[in-house]
Structure 1
Amino acid sequence: MALMLDNNFRQPDDVYHAIIDAHRDLSDAQSQAMNAQLVLLLANHIGDATVLDEALALARNNALAMPA
């Protein structure tokens, strides 16, 4: 299995809004904790270390490319 980078949602805007709405009224610490929990839940769901390693590397590289 390889990391899927193409859009896999029929309505991606709805998914984006659901993620934003889930963070509504959370403190910064709560939002960070929720993101960490979400990452762990989705990593477990993926269940493929190779795909997870690819996703982690891509996300980290994208974060490093942003201004600090």
Structure 2
Amino acid sequence: MTAHLETGPRLDDPDALYEALMAAYRDLPDAEALKLSAKLVLLLANHIGDAAVVREALAIASGRTDG
């Protein structure tokens, strides 16, 4: 059975996480920011551990969904 992507609010402090993300990217050259994004996506995809869920997230994030 494949899980589905949880898109509802689940973070205790989303603003603090947003600030941490912005801080991680602050002052990075474009190429380094792209590397950071790729590494972060791969780490989180591995943590999720379900390729179908990651594909669902990709579809939603890229606007390639019917809903």
Q: Give TM-score, length-normalised by structure 2.
A: 0.86
* Structure 1 position 53, deviation (Å): 1.1
Report what 2:50 is aligned to: 48
Structure 2: unaligned runs, 5 residues or longer: none
Instruction: Give the aligned residue type for 1:23.
Output: Y
1:12 to 11, 14, 30: 14
> Per residue, is there more helix in 1 or in 2?
1
Q: Distance in 1 between matches of 2:13 and 2:51?
A: 28
Report how many residues are paired. 62
Structure 1: unaligned runs, 5 residues or longer: 63-68
Q: Give TM-score, length-normalised by structure 1.
A: 0.84
Q: Distance in 1 between matches of 2:53 and 2:18?
A: 22
* Structure 1 position 49, deviation (Å): 1.1
The two structures, once aligned, show a CA RMSD in angstroms of 1.1
Report what 1:66 is aligned to: none
